[in-house]
Structure 1
């Protein structure tokens, strides 16, 4: 059948198949439904963020520590980037290591829950989320007891001469281990959600096409689960980079402090440290946003873009 219809006079005109469907504009009800959430973000996110930025530009009164005046003092950011550069490096390094370890531990666990758990699936899911029923600080203190010098792990490694320093606590290893433990569920659950929605027949098709297990995983299973991997990576890396509890309870006084510890100290322990603390917070946020943007552009999927 021709794509053009003919009129009585022989002229041609587009058929109904070529007429674009009318677009439906959002009604007033849609905007009203968005209003509570928008107000919540405005009051509890945007306004505090603007206030924090203004504080980061303030200057202290000479001779009156703890008193400030409104200014445009970008020297606070220079202090944040120079004096506390090692803390930024540690934060990004520890968060990156924790993200890698949570992925290496979490992906096999998520795969097992999605495809191999059978009637134990709910039990395994409960075991993954059970730590959330305990305080974050209490879990970290418990981890300190596990890694203590007289604990079974440190004692066993010392007996095998595998601990050069003779201890695990107050080292970067303890901090990264605590971050990995505390944020492991944030990696497992998104990956499980992606794998659970996958069609098993698509994965089985790899075997039908004579692909071995590793090739099937690399070309079929992993791409299917990439939305969950990306979500889990972001949910792990972002809070881990700003964490200060693990470094405070599991690390040492100086060599393992992260930028979150410096921000906490500047806000609550250093007289007149508010502007520098605010500058540190904004600098950390900018670094994380830049890294997340590059990560999404490089590995992101259409769902996340």
Structure 2
């Protein structure tokens, strides 16, 4: 009875109004899911795959670094020990005497030196390149960025072998020296060749993030500074560099860490005469068959990377500038 009266009241025409029937309005229920999104359980397979192929190998390496080495070498014995980390700084002789050993620190020092030189040279070369690209018209910028990314289309081994042809005794460089009446130089299988290979390989990793930061810069600010009497160096130092800082920090990290653990360039261009940390780790898993020690060296590099990432996050939070570690 009450329902029938309510319906009658709703459909009743009010003579004091316009004579339009009063129809109840039902509002559509708001969807809690964003349009185009998936339910949470749909991403479980992707998370499992990501965990297996990213976190899984890291967990295995960390576990292996605390395991014991079998007497015959190769593999691990599942007995907890800190010996792999102790052997990084100390060695014991047949009598059990423990002494400080700096061999592996020297390898880290050589790796640090070459990675630092690579980063500094790439930074000095990349900033003017990125700034010049960012000041070109948009269509030309796309073409120039395409030219920068062309090396990524070719396998790293192929590019490294190309440098071997350039630097060998009968290569382009020595033939140019001979044409100028200069004596030939031994360039291949030297630390210089390894350094050149690292710079060539990682230069695009510095140019692209720096260009990405400068692409959004309003260069009218620089023109206004020129109009107010500022010098070019002042404009670069006070206006352009602060805006490009996130790209510079991202590029430094993208270049330094891979160069620090590089393997291909020291082997092929350095001829095995340049021992870097990447080659040392490979030899521990290969020739030396000391998996726990190789895993411990890998963990040390991971810790260095984590410290660098924490530093980047702290800098980003303190300066208020978003730093993205991506190309």
Query: TM-score, normalization: structure 2?
Result: 0.75
Residue 96 (structure 1) aligned with residue 96 (structure 2)? no
Deviation at 1:36, TM superposition (A): 5.7
Q: Is the 1:56–1:276 Cα contact (8 Å) retained in structure 2?
A: yes
Partner of 2:300: 283
Partner of 2:285: 267
Task: Trace 1:226-241 onto structure 2 (pairs within 5 A).
Answer: 226-241=245-260
Q: In the superposition, relative to structure 1, how do residues 210 and 291 fare at CA in structure 2: closer, same or farther (>3 Å)?
A: same
**What is the match of residue 21 of structure 1?**
none
| CA deviations over 1:230-267 (Å, ceiling 9, x no partner) | 1111111111111100000011324x111101111211
For the 8 Å contact 2:119–2:255, the answer to whether it is kept is yes
| Structure-2 separation of matches of 1:237 and 1:113 | 23
Moved more, 66-75 or 278-287: 66-75
Larger radius of gyration: 2
Give the count of matched residue pairs.
276
Residue equivalent to 1:121: 141
Contact 2:75-2:290 at 8 Å conserved across structures? no
> Does residue 181 of the first structure (1) align with residue 200 of the second (2)?
yes
Q: The residue matched to 1:303 in structure 2 has which SS?
A: coil
Instruction: Quote how far apart the aligned CAs of 1:227 are.
Output: 1.0
Please state how far the C-alpha of 1:96 moved relative to its aligned partner. 1.1
Mark the CA change 1:157 to 1:104 in structure 2 (over 3 Å): closer, same or farther. farther
> What is the CA-CA distance between 1:60 and the residue it aligns to?
2.4
Provide the rounded CA distance (Å) in 2 between the counterparts of 1:105 and 1:294. Answer: 24
Q: Quote the RMSD (CA, aligned, Å).
A: 2.9
- CA deviation profile, 1:24-49 (whole Å, cap 9, x unmatched): x9999685577566434422222221
The change in CA–CA distance for 1:73 and 1:209 in structure 2 (over 3 A counts) is same
Show the 5 A alignment for 1:127-276: 127-156=147-176, 166-254=185-273, 256-270=274-288, 272-276=289-293
Match in the other structure for 2:21 = none
2:9 counterpart residue number: none
Q: Residue 105 of structure 1 corresponds to which residue in structure 2?
A: 125
Do the aligned partners of 2:213 and 2:247 also contact (CA within 8 Å) in 1?
Answer: yes
Question: 2:52 matched to 1:43?
Answer: yes
Deviations 1:255-283 (A, max 9, x none): x111101111211232x311111011111
The answer (yes or no) to whether the contact 2:127–2:210 under 8 Å persists in 1 is yes
Partners of 2:43 and 2:229 in 1: how far apart? 51
Task: Note the C-alpha offset of 1:72.
Answer: 2.1
Distance change >3 Å, CA 297–CA 31, structure 1 → 2: same
Distance 1:287 1:112, change over 3 A: same
Q: Identify the residue that residue 56 of structure 1 maps to in structure 2.
A: 65
Alpha-carbon offset, residue 119 of structure 1: 4.8
Structure 2's unaligned 5+ residue stretches are 1-31, 90-100
Contact 2:209–2:248, Cα closer than 8 Å, also in 1: yes
